[in-house]
Structure 1
Amino acid sequence: MVPDHQGREAARPHPHQRGAVDSVIEMRGLSKRFGDLVAVDALDLDVHRGEVFGYLGPNGSGKSTTIRMLFDFIRPSAGTYTVLGGSGADPAIRRRVGYIPGELRFDPRYTTADLIAFYGRLRGSVDTTYVDELLERFDLDPVRPIGQLSTGNRRKTAIVQAFMHRPELLILDEPTAGLDPLLQHEFHQLIGDVKRAGATVFLSSHVLPEVEALADRVAILRTGRLVTVAAVDELARHARQHIDLHLAGDASAEPFENLPGVVRATASGAVIRLVVEGNVDAVLKAAATLPVRRIVTHETDLEDVFLDFYRDQP
């Protein structure tokens, strides 16, 4: 997972080697082309120290390509970057980073214990007590060959090796793929623990509820281009709300069709279904004039916002 770069020239990092102290990752015009395909297009992005930063987009949007450039696994076609103030190709920087790739390629002959020992040597020192805690937390047998492990257990091995040295930066590419819901919850708890300890997390995912639950800010990527960067609570404030009004008799959507903020109003039987963007004050005032028996609101999540961005962007 961390190939030997001995003898290779490091990718050119951003010239601002010692940037603002709260910027753990910086990208300026970062781009990658594969022939005529533009995989990542002129990214300008900062990840702040101590935050969980969600990097969102469907498969093929450029998320994994971005991460591979940060580690110098592939070279940018244009632009610059820094990771912890330097280059991701620098072994001294890598010792301070924990990494889970989207595709796990462990030698199947190795055991989890073998990998822990190998990465421990690369990183200088590892708290064995903490490693034991992680193994127990994720119910992982360290002596079985990785080739005999299920997809979920291989993912757990990746989690342990990424977190075991208490890195100050974690770069995680689809980290919970293959985990059952209980272990996903345990992973979320672990993210909370490392954040409280001061670590920064760069979380690339297309699992929107996971990012909504964990992230402070998110970037939304579409076909290699940055669509927006915003705080999760800010995106939620712009989310469309779904409201059902259950009336005592037959319902008509007409009173709501031209109200401020109402995106869609439909009626079926005794129920008026509304989609509202922003303030719902006008909707509530109109509803107060009707024989409303019950108001049902449906929780809005980041997925609605994400899909809206994808529909609205050219």
Structure 2
Amino acid sequence: MSAAIEITRLHKKYQQHTALHELDLHVRAGAVFGLIGPNGAGKTTTLRTLVDVIRPSSGTVRVLGEDPRHGGAALRRRIGYVPGELHLEGRASGHRLLAFYAEVSGSNGSTTSVLRTARDLADRLGVDLDRPVRTLSKGNKQKVGLIQAFMHRPELLILDEPTSGLDPLVQREFLSMVREARDAGQTVLLSSHVLSEIQQTADEVAVLSAGRIVAEGDVASLRLGSVRRVRVRIGGTDAVVARAAFERLAGVEALDVVDHGEGVQLSTTIEGGIDPFLKTLARYEVQDLTVEEPDLEESVLRLYGDRSHADTAPTTRRSSRGRRH
């Protein structure tokens, strides 16, 4: 399958700071590709290069078969873009702003059909397009930004932290929009530091750390869900007994057990399978239980090593190319 995005040896340096180190990235057409990494990893720099907001220091970039530096307005019309820091101001209503975008984008289909799609998306996301944009909350401005990216059904969607400021129900609707775009044959490049967004939508993933890709492949092969943080309150035991029962389990790390009322409060990080922990937990009266994903930086550090080694460590590639998705 052809590539929607091809990046080869992309290097970007700001004075003394190197943001990207010889980056290689291939995004196949019709796929959802997740680009993840902690803040400062280089995600936004990479995406801005794709839409020619910034220019590379060296290397080559091809987007939909063209160099973004020379593709001009014709290439930009084929792309839907949500920047990481979205700024929407002005007295115009959401309707008028989107009508302007529809006119200048040269959208697929008529302006009328594009605006009809925009209204449908506004209903799904729950934003009032009659209000002046400047009066909208951060979350509602983000919704308008998503609508302008999706409404003309572009060949390629480039989305930088697109769910910033959105509540969980709207985030779920956004993920449905991404899956629908993929089903329609569109390509989606999604940058996020929220693991669950990537796990629910992406076909392939690249992990970016300190300006380098430290791993890439399909979500399952990268084991992004293999580390969990657990907090549980159990009754009918004390801290000494509970610690002895749980600390010898495989994968249990950073175990903290304290007496709490007539039971104990236990917190730990579990790497790998959670089944042994749950079977041990079943011996007790479970009063409360919370299982969380770690933040992305912790997961990257655990799975691929400290970022401080990224400058010298070889890149880990767990390629999924050729697999069926």
Using the alignment, how far apart are the partners of 1:135 and 1:39 within structure 2? 36
Structure 2 CA distance for aligned equivalents of residues 259 and 157 of structure 1? 49
Q: Identity, % of aligned pairs?
A: 41
Q: Whole-Å Cα distance in 2 between the matches of residues 63 and 148 of structure 1?
A: 30
Assess, with a 3 A threshold, how the Cα gap between structure 1 residues 300 and 122 changes in structure 2: closer, same or farther: same
In 1, distance between residues paired with 2:174 and 2:138?
A: 16
Which residue, out of 155, 170, 182, partners 1:195? 182
Aligned partner of 2:302 in structure 1 is: 308
3-state SS in 1 of match to 2:68: coil
The answer to whether 1:67 aligns with 2:47 is yes
Matched, 1:211 2:198: yes
The aligned residue for residue 173 of structure 1 is: 160
39 and 160 in structure 1: CA distance in 2 versus 1, 3 angstrom threshold: same
Question: Structure 1: which 5+ residue stretches go unaligned?
Answer: 1-19
Q: Distance in 1 between matches of 2:130 and 2:179?
A: 28
Number of aligned residue pairs:
291
Aligned twin of 1:102: 84
Map residues 274-293 of structure 1 onto 2, 5 A cutoff. Answer: 277-278=271-272, 292=283
Give 1:196 shift: 1.7
Partner of 1:8: none
Change (3 A) 1:247 1:233: farther
38-47 vs 53-62, which moves further: 53-62
* Structure 1 runs, 4 residues or longer, greater than 4 Å off: 241-244, 246-250, 252-281, 291-300
Write the distance in 2 (CA, Å) between the matches of 1:146 and 1:153. Answer: 9
Mark the CA change 1:146 to 1:25 in structure 2 (over 3 Å): closer, same or farther.
Answer: same
- Distance in 1 separating the partners of 2:221 and 2:289: 20
Distance 1:37 1:268, change over 3 A: same
How many Å separate the matches in 1 of 2:258 and 2:89?
Answer: 59
**In the alignment, is residue 116 of structure 1 matched against residue 95 of structure 2?**
no
Structure 1 CA distance for aligned equivalents of residues 20 and 92 of structure 2: 34
Task: Describe the superposition over 1:183-202 as per-residue Cα deviations: whole angstroms up to 9, x where unpaired.
Answer: 22221221122122122211
Alignment map for 1:149-188 (pairs within 5 Å): 149-188=136-175
- Please state whether the residue corresponding to 1:73 is helix, strand or coil: coil
2:64 is the counterpart of 1:84: yes
Is contact 1:236–1:302 with CA below 8 Å preserved after alignment? no
**1:27: Cα distance to partner?**
0.8
1:226-265 C-alpha deviation (Å, 9 max, x unpaired) = 2211322223377246789x89876487798788766677
Matches of 2:289 and 2:18, distance apart in 1: 41
The CA deviation at 1:112 is 2.0
CA displacement, residues 116-171 of structure 1 (integer Å, 9 cap, x when unaligned) = 22222233244233222112222333333222222122111111110010112110
Q: How far is the alpha carbon of 1:50 from its aligned partner?
A: 2.2
Gaps of 5+ in 2: 310-325
**Secondary structure in 2 matching 1:102:** coil
Q: 1:222-301, aligned counterparts within 5 Å?
A: 222-236=209-223, 239-240=226-227, 251=241, 277-278=271-272, 292=283, 301=293
Q: TM-score, normalised by structure 2?
A: 0.74
* Cα distance in 1, alignment partners of residues 17 and 23 from structure 2: 16
Q: Cα distance 1:144–1:255, how it changes in 2: closer, same or farther (>3 A)?
A: closer
TM-score by length of 1: 0.76
Question: Take 2:217 and 2:241, find their aligned partners in 1: how far apart are those partners?
Answer: 38
Q: How does 1:124-135 map to 2 (within 5 A)?
A: 124-125=106-107, 126=111, 127=113, 128-135=115-122
- Partner Cα distance (2:163, 2:268) in 1: 35
1:142 counterpart residue number = 129
What is the deviation of 1:218?
Answer: 2.0
Q: How many angstroms does 1:223 deviate by?
A: 1.9
Letter in 1 for 2:179: G
1:75-132 C-alpha deviation (Å, 9 max, x unpaired): 1001111111112341222211110011223351333223222222233244233222
